[in-house]
Structure 1
Amino acid sequence: MVADREGGARRKPARAVAVYVAGGAVLLTGCASMPDNGDLRGVESTPRQDTQVRVFAMPPREDAQPSEIVQGFLEALTSDDPQYATAKQYLTGQAAKTWRPELSTMVLADGPATEADPAGVREDSVNFSFTLTGAKVAVVDAEQSYAPAQGSYSRQVRLVRDRKSGQWRINGLPQGVVMGKSDFQRNYTSVNKYYFASNSAVGTASQTAAVADPVYVRRRVDPMTQMVRSLLNGPTSWLGPVVRSSFPSGTALRKGAGPLTPDDQNKLTVPLNGKATQVGRAKCNEMAAQLLFTLQGLTPAVDEVEVQAGGEQLCELDEDGAAAVAARGSAKHPEFLYFIDGEHRLVRIPPGGSRSTNADAVPGELGGGERALRSAAVSRDEHTGAGVALDGKTLYVGSLVSGSSLGEPVVRSAGKTEDERLTTPSWDARGDLWVADRDPEHPRLLVLREGKGEPMEVQVPGLDGQIRSVRVAADGVRIALVVENDDKQSLLVGRIERTTKDVPGGKPGPGSGVSVFELRPAAPALEEVTTMSWAGDGRLVVVGREEGGVQQMKYVQVDGSTPEGPAPDALTGVKEIAAAEDGRLPLVAYSEDGIVRLPDGAQWQTVVKDGSAPVYPG
């Protein structure tokens, strides 16, 4: 089993492949048509298999030459062998002991090509080497966290011939595994594990926010048990500073547990070690909520979780119970979709289903027309709105209650042109309001606690360029930014960290601050980003263009990977996009056709011809 066909002549088959199917497993083996020396031109990709079929490579044949040993080893890396036992048969005993495949997965554009030692294999040779090469696409680290990568890959594989048996084996190789992009997509799947935002509240209920932490697991190697182990190991390093786990330190699956499978009532029992025996009911419910949120992202077959420790039941929790423990953005169903109408007022319509285009002005001055608006945002509880004036100079905040007034602007920009003034604002899960001032003389990212008071300037260490657009995730600890640098726009995701020292009256005191750390690319292939919006707990929808390409609309993961499933239907002339974290609601866009929306299973439909700046709450 092997890696990618992409690459034309470079992907010439290295050998014939015979496929045997028995007991739900596919065994891949080859005939003896391998060259004895010279270059291996690449590893041929295996066709897509049924996700329920497990695929295993064959061990090395007797008297296999170095090129065949390397080929077989690379094939074995893409199999469904849980512990890479077959791959280790291509290694010397010492190399098998020291090789750690779990340390990383290097993803290349094509399957790894190999360059052989030009000296070739002589009859008296006992050493040989190949260099694995390719173009980097991404790397998955020991935490199972994905990160885009660029540049050339080059690593050496050394072989030795055993003097007694005469068999060639690999005795030097890089740690981790390496494979082509298509094999990676076939072998691995992205799943969100869930933790809780540290010291955060959602809305007025002060409910804990659940935060998605995406990782990649092997698709057909007991992914349920993999995900539970990953959850218990704690959050990835990038997200760790702003989240907490309710599992006590050292908690792991009970020795010998697994594979984990739900029963015929869709209930999963998770047996933990003794570290969890002393937790109370409330803490256990939090643990169960983390498990349920995580596993439901992997499969719909889990409706309830039972947590055990020391052989005794600690608690059990179903979906309703988990929803009471913590809030997920993807579970929040907005009451309305909002946009700016032809009279520059903030108006609203039901978010989905009906094709009615009758929009109602929101209650209060934002919908009254006294202040002409060009963009707006509505808090996640839909009680408060924020609007940017038509010229982009000022930001107003007001209650969405009849008779309410706006008062004085809460932010002013001194930018000389509309494009150099305020961005569309965004509300986070705490009820704080974010906006960027694009004034080239004084660029700022600002946050207003609960949408009022003195704006606080947000520090963004490592920011290279000017912020053009801002969207905060429903969890309140991640932020998406469109950043412009040298006429190119990039979509970046950062981690929000807060240092709050309150004084009497509930206001932040000296030493308080907000920063955005470790910006990382979410759409590395795009060089021009027109607009973007959160479209789930760990996903965004983005409109942009690759170098030399045309405008496209696509979904991207916060870690920079591409989610499974189709992209949204094409739409020309998109200027703004809006998506709800609840994926059941339609995408909405402002295009050359006005406000349009994309209901599930249908084509783009016109909502109104004369309107702009559509937004869901947030």
Structure 2
Amino acid sequence: MGDDREGGARYRPGRAVAYAVCGAVLLSGCASMPDSGDLRDVESTPRQDTGVRVFAMPPAEDAEPSEIMQGFLEALTSDDPEYDTARKYLTADAARTWRPERSATVLANGPSVVPDHQPAGREAADTLTYVLAGTRVATVDAQQAYAPADGAYRNRVHLAKDAKSGQWRIDSLPQGVVMGKTDFQRNYTSVSKYYFASHTTVRTTGEPVAVADPVFIRSKVDPVTQVVRSLLTGPTSWLGPVVRSSFPTGTALRKGVSGLAPDDRNNLTVPLNAKAARVGSDRCTEMATQLLFTLRNLTPTLESVELQGPGGRRLCDLNEEGAETAAWHASAQRPDNLYFLDGKHRLVRLPTGATGTGTSAVPVPGPLGRGERQLRSVAVSRDEHTVAGVDADGRNLYVASLEPDGSLGNPVVSSLGVNPEDRLTTPSWDAGGDLWVADRDPRDPKLLVMEQGVGKPVRVTVPELPGRIRDVRVAADGVRVALVVEKDGKQSLLIGRIARDEDSGERPAVVELRSAAPDLEQVTAMSWAGDSRLVAVGLEQGGVHQMRYVQVDGSTLDGPAPAALSGVKAIAASEDERVPLVAYSEDDGVVRLPAGAQWQKVDKDGTAPVYPG
């Protein structure tokens, strides 16, 4: 950040107190900040081990303005639940009106801090303005929703010297908090809340479909209680129009409840206010399902939840098995088979649990396994009963049953694109049984959906589309879709919300597109790889091709990227993250990546691998 403003220094917190089981440790490394001239770098607070909480120091007596600024910025990155220490650097009025929970601005590095030009005269001796500057990376809003951001950040912080006490304090500052990317990663963690799709149910069972809504919470500040409060508040604005919550409006934790945590049997009790007192058993089960799905990705060992009403009255309880029968959850649906095209362009399958050694793929039952049409790409329905296949030249889309006596009828969609690359994309199924495909014909590009895979193709409107769709993958939940969109020779990965109004009869639309991989400018392959995660193959600006996991909100995931693989043209993943990643490489054919291993060959002549979806 020092490069963001000439003569400035980037702020990186360095003075805080870390409390662990073994005791208290002072994290030193502070540097002074003069009232004028250049500022020296301040070393960043080291990454803390799990369980270590970091607390800031209050202002020292007669602290100079530079020390007030440094101490305040350090306090923003501490684990102080209500930012009480940070408020001690503010005047009483500023402390009362400051709302740190309103937003978090994430910068590439810690903010540069430089004194602003000061007017001459007596008043200048008792006031001082600092400028915080940097390059924005992201923002987190009041709903805890993350969004990538760019451009310059610049805000002023004003200090005044109290006439009576003689102490410097901040009396004017921007709302929210600001910190560098490293400190953000140390202080915050991504957790997916779960709601239910408003217009999607599982085709075969009618179960409601769970939808993930990722948010960022402060990782060491009562995280379970934070997540529960966020879930009860409702979905983020982006997802809200297409999901519902089973919690009655106004439901909240009982007044004074904090410190929620599973007991020694990994069961969690959640006390609710009177708004939830009269829910029926079925609705209470859905409420508990939302809680269990949400909390298990924060505390994986959680076994069950119990909801309590006023006076400690038990409303319902639910374990993992009960939750999985109450709602359809994509990441819990382990596919039976991996599918791909063999050297004869027939559809073949391999059991998901097969090791690949001594196990060969076999043609699927039905016409596409018999080779009645040579294929270029396929998609298998979530129940693994139906397949959609695009023929070898990309012109026609066929839908057929995976039954031995199935037959192949006429194509359900045909493209008039002149060149094969300007015709149909790989198709994609959602959990409701609807089939999606894009026609890349530059003279009439369009996104299409077919109800249950056999209905008349319906054109989907995409009002904010910034280019031409090159690839499409609909999420299992049927309310989000991932698109690779090309413009001016660059391909970007975008996520859109699927809007449906069945009562009005209007066509479905994909709205409010947002970037899932803002730093990739050439996306050559992608697949859903979790309820709120995708895997993408692409090229960074000025970089090399790489494979990485990305969140639907555009945030960077912790953890290692998949092992490198050259010449990747297609990628397949399952929402069940236990299932191996599979790819098609020009050099090696169809390969897969078991957990803890290197890429293994599955079929040298195979292409177009897919899991159901």
Regarding TM over 0.5, the answer is yes
- 1:192-591 matched pairs, under 5 angstroms: 192-310=192-310, 311-356=312-357, 357-501=359-503, 511-591=505-585
CA contact (8 A) 1:541 1:556 kept: yes
What fraction of aligned residue pairs are identical, expressed as a percent?
65
CA contact (8 A) 1:28 1:57 kept: no
Does the CA contact (< 8 Å) of 2:106 and 2:136 recur in 1? yes
- Give deviations 1:60-111, integer Å, cap 9, x for gaps: 1111111111111001000000000000011000000000000000000000
Q: Does structure 1 retain, via aligned residues, the 8 Å contact 2:94–2:171? A: yes
Instruction: Check 1:42–1:287 CA distance in 2 against 1; reply closer, same or farther (3 A cut).
Output: farther
After superposition, residues 83-232 of structure 1 pair within 5 angstroms as 83-119=82-118, 125-232=125-232
User: Is the Cα–Cα contact under 8 Å of residues 214 and 538 in structure 1 kept in the other structure?
Assistant: yes
Change (3 A) 1:442 1:270: same
Partner Cα distance (1:20, 1:188) in 2: 16
8 Å contact 1:37–1:121 — kept in the other structure?
no
Offset, 1:474: 1.1
Question: Are the equivalent residues in 1 in contact too, given 2:432–2:478 (CA < 8 A)?
Answer: yes
> What SS class does the counterpart of residue 75 from structure 1 fall into?
helix
Checking the alignment, whether the CA contact within 8 Å between 1:57 and 1:75 is kept in structure 2 is yes
When structure 1 is superposed on structure 2, of 350-359 and 91-100 the one drifting more is 350-359
Q: What is the deviation of 1:454? A: 1.3
Which digits, 9 at most, give the CA deviation of each residue in 1:180-217, with x for residues without a partner? 00000000000000000113211310111000000000
Per-residue CA distance 1:343-367 (angstroms, 9 max, x = gap): 0111100124412441111100011
The answer as to whether partners of 1:7 and 1:110 remain within 8 angstroms in 2 is no
Give me the whole-angstrom Cα distance separating, in 1, the residues matched to 2:409 and 2:480. 30
Structure-2 separation of matches of 1:121 and 1:47: 40
The CA distance in 2 between the partners of 1:175 and 1:29, in whole Å, is: 28
**Cα drift, residue 36 of structure 1:** 4.6
Q: Aligned with 1:55: secondary structure?
A: strand
- Tell me the SS of whatever aligns to 2:199: coil
State the SS of the aligned residue for 1:102.
helix
Alpha carbons of structure 1 residues 458 and 215: separation in structure 2 relative to 1, 3 Å: same
Contact 1:25 1:53 in 2 (8 A): no
Flag the 1:298–1:186 CA change in 2: closer, same or farther, 3 A.
Answer: same
Within 2, Cα distance between the matches of 1:562 and 1:15?
A: 22
Paired residue type of 2:331 = S
Question: Which residue identity does 1:325 align to in structure 2?
Answer: A
- The 3 A distance-change label for structure 1 pair 29 and 62 is farther
Change (3 A) 1:479 1:14: closer
Relative to structure 1, the CA distance from residue 144 to residue 21 in structure 2 (aligned partners, 3 Å threshold; closer, same or farther) is closer
Gaps of 5+ in 2: none
Q: Quickly say closer, same or farther: Cα 1:231–1:407, change in 2 above 3 A.
A: same
What SS does the corresponding residue of 1:499 show, helix, strand or coil? Answer: coil
RMSD value over aligned CA atoms?
Answer: 2.2
Instruction: Render the CA deviation track for 1:458-512: whole Å, top value 9, x for unaligned.
Output: 01111010000010111111100000000000000011111224xxxxxxxx824
Matched position secondary structure for 1:204? coil
From the superposition, tell whether residues 249 and 404 of structure 1 become closer, same or farther in structure 2 (CA, over 3 Å). Answer: same
Q: 2:598 maps to which residue?
A: 603
1:115 Cα deviation (Å)? 1.8
Shift of 1:453: 2.5
Displacement of 1:582: 0.4
Give the Cα–Cα distance (whole angstroms) in 1 for the partners of residues 505 and 300 of structure 2: 46
Distance 2:516 2:435 in 1: 23
Do the aligned residues in 2 keep the contact of 1:40 with 1:116 (CA within 8 Å)?
no
Distance 1:558 1:137 in 2: 16
CA drift at 1:174: 0.3
- CA offsets per residue over residues 303-325 of structure 1, 9 Å max, x none? 10000011200000000100011
* Number of equivalences: 608
Q: TM-score, normalised by structure 2?
A: 0.96
Moved more, 79-88 or 117-126: 117-126
* 1:566, distance to aligned residue in structure 2 (A): 0.8
Q: Which amino acid counterpart does residue 133 of structure 2 have in structure 1?
A: T
Deviation at 1:403, TM superposition (A): 1.7
Matched position secondary structure for 1:342: coil
What is the rounded CA distance, in whole Å, between the counterparts of 2:201 and 2:303 in structure 1?
26
Note closer, same or farther for the CA distance 1:50–1:113 as it changes in structure 2 (3 Å cut).
Answer: same
1:505 counterpart residue number: none
SS at match of 2:200: coil
Q: What is the identity, as a one-letter code, of the residue corresponding to 1:338?
A: Y
* Aligned partners of 1:42 and 1:113 also within 8 Å: no
**Are the equivalent residues in 2 in contact too, given 1:4–1:180 (CA < 8 A)?**
no
CA 1:18/1:232 → structure 2, altered by over 3 Å: closer, same or farther? Answer: closer
User: Relative to 1, partners in 2 of residues 1:266 and 1:9: Cα closer, same or farther, differing over 3 Å?
Assistant: farther
Per-residue deviation, 1:39: 4.3
Describe the shift of the 1:256–1:20 C-alpha distance in structure 2 as closer, same or farther (beyond 3 A): closer
8 Å contact from structure 1 (residues 192, 297) kept in 2: yes
User: CA offset at residue 117 of structure 1?
Assistant: 2.5
Matched with 1:54 is: 53
Corresponding residue SS for 1:232: helix
The answer as to whether partners of 1:105 and 1:139 remain within 8 angstroms in 2 is: yes
Cα 1:437–1:516 change in 2 (3 A) is: same
Residues 202-234 of structure 1: CA distance to partner in whole angstroms, max 9, x if unpaired?
131011100000000000000000000000000
2:30 is aligned with 1:35 = no
Query: 1:249: Cα distance to partner?
Result: 0.5
Distance 1:41 1:516, change over 3 A: farther
> Given the two structures, how large is their TM-score scaled by the length of structure 1?
0.95
- Whole-Å Cα distance in 1 between the matches of residues 120 and 70 of structure 2? 16
Change (3 A) 1:121 1:364: farther
8 Å CA contact 1:438–1:444 kept in 2: the answer is yes
Range with bigger deviation, 44-53 or 177-186:
44-53
Mapped contact 1:577–1:614 kept (Cα < 8 A) = yes
Q: Contact between 2:13 and 2:74, CA under 8 Å: does it hold in 1?
A: no
* Per-residue CA distance 1:260-307 (angstroms, 9 max, x = gap): 011111000000000000001110000000000000010123110000
The separation in 1 between residues aligned to 2:448 and 2:16, in whole angstroms, is 62
Q: Tell me the CA shift for residue 34 of structure 1.
A: 4.5
- Give the counterpart letter for 1:558 in structure 2: V
Contact 1:4 1:183 in 2 (8 A): no
Stretch of structure 1 that moved more, 72-81 or 357-366: 357-366
Q: Check 1:228–1:487 CA distance in 2 against 1; reply closer, same or farther (3 A cut).
A: same
Distance 1:484 1:369, change over 3 A: same
